[in-house]
Amino acid sequence: MNNSIRTAFNLYLNGSVHVSLAVFSLVQMTFYFCNIPFDTVVSALAFFGTLFSYNFIKYAETVYKSKGVFSKNMKAIIAMSLIALTIAGFSFFMLQFNAQLVTLGLLLLCLLYAIPIYPKIPNLRNWAGIKIYIVSFCWAGVTLIVPIVNAGLALTQDIGIKFLQRFFLVLILILIFEIVDLQFDDKKLKTVPQTLGMEKTKRLIFLLLIPFYFLEFFKLGFQSIQAWNNLVIVALVLFFTWKASPQQTKYFTLFWVESVPIVWWLLIVGEKFFSFV
């Protein structure tokens, strides 16, 4: 990989474009399974809102302490983030009112996650053991509840099942991240691998994959093809879990692990394409 391609790829990962595409993919799955026409506004809000919020969480402190001196890559990330904030802001005002309320609730949770309430009270990100549940809840909320509410659909039991499945998937992916980040995470965070150890965390992932997979059979309009698609995702997650270790590079999680929702969506796209052909 030459330097220019490597630089562009690192900007793609470090600028949160890849994780934003993962969120976008889950929104498209919601449209498909809930029979909602493609919604440009919700899709833009999910993609650009994720890009800005992830970059804000990752780089706000660095930008604050830099005193206006930035590297070339950081300037690009700041520019991308400001453009994303603008588009996400316009998208928010084009949502239905109820969807705006849901989005504001998730935004408040994100702010509490990133910003300390008081100087002596840490942000939710640094509260021991709570981080993974907040992130999982926000992902499920943005990718499922916001599109559903904006389309004027009811929050039924079936939506609750879909929500739980999304929640479990994101939780599993975060646990893989935490295994890889064992050598970097502050011990005060008390992440699951820090508390249980790496091997027990992997066993926990195996256990969480069970409800993730079998929840599919309780959905309304169950499709056998989706059970097979989910089996592919389970196999992929099992492989990543097996390979997860603190010795892995950042590309393992930032690209490969975060690709799981994208692969999930592409399986649906492929199915639709071949059925059409």
**Quick check: 169 and 234 in contact, CB under 8 A?**
no
Q: What count of residues does the chain have?
A: 277
**What does the pLDDT read at residue 123?**
56
User: Radius of gyration (Cα) for the chain, nearest Å?
Assistant: 19
Distance CA(84)–CA(59), nearest Å, equals 15
| Each residue's pLDDT tens digit, 243-258 | 999 999 889 999 999 9
Domain borders along the chain are 3-276
Block residue for tokens 């893989």? 176
**What does the pLDDT read at residue 65?**
74
The stretches in the chain having pLDDT less than 50 are none
**Quick check: 114 and 60 in contact, CB under 8 A?**
yes
